[in-house]
Amino acid sequence: MADQDTQAMAAQEKREAAKQDARTLAEAEVIRNNVKRFELAKQMAVEMSLESKDQADAFAFIAGGVLHYPKMEKERANKE
């Protein structure tokens, strides 16, 4: 009986994940069709990636080495 309950829960979790994925895809389509919103999202993605790169560099420095991301460094230099 417990195995059936576990399977039922797993099936329900998959269904809920699929619903959330459907919502995510629908929202992505809305964003893609709104040029201004899409461009702002792309700009934010660049900013977020640069922040992540800074964090990665800090961790790498603490760990004893420095990571380099030439493409991101070029983007940062162009932005500044």
pLDDT in tens, the chain (80 residues): 668 778 888 999 999 999 999 999 999 999 999 999 999 999 999 999 999 988 888 888 888 765 565 655 566 677 66
Q: Is the same domain home to 77 and 43?
A: yes
Residues 25, 55 within the same domain? no
N- to C-terminal Cα distance for the chain? 62
Do 79 and 62 lie in a common domain? yes
The residue with tokens 């829960």 is 9
pTM: 0.55
Q: Are residues 20 and 53 in the same domain?
A: no
Q: Provide the residue range defining the domain that includes 43.
A: 38-80
Q: In this structure, are 47 and 75 located in the same domain?
A: yes
Same domain, 20 and 49: no
Give residue 69's pLDDT.
57
Compute the distance between CA of residue 47 and CA of residue 76 in angstroms, rounded to an integer: 9
Strands (E), 14-66: none
Claim to verify: residue 50 and residue 73 sit in the same structural domain: yes
Report angle CA 49, 33, 45 to the nearest 5 degrees: 5
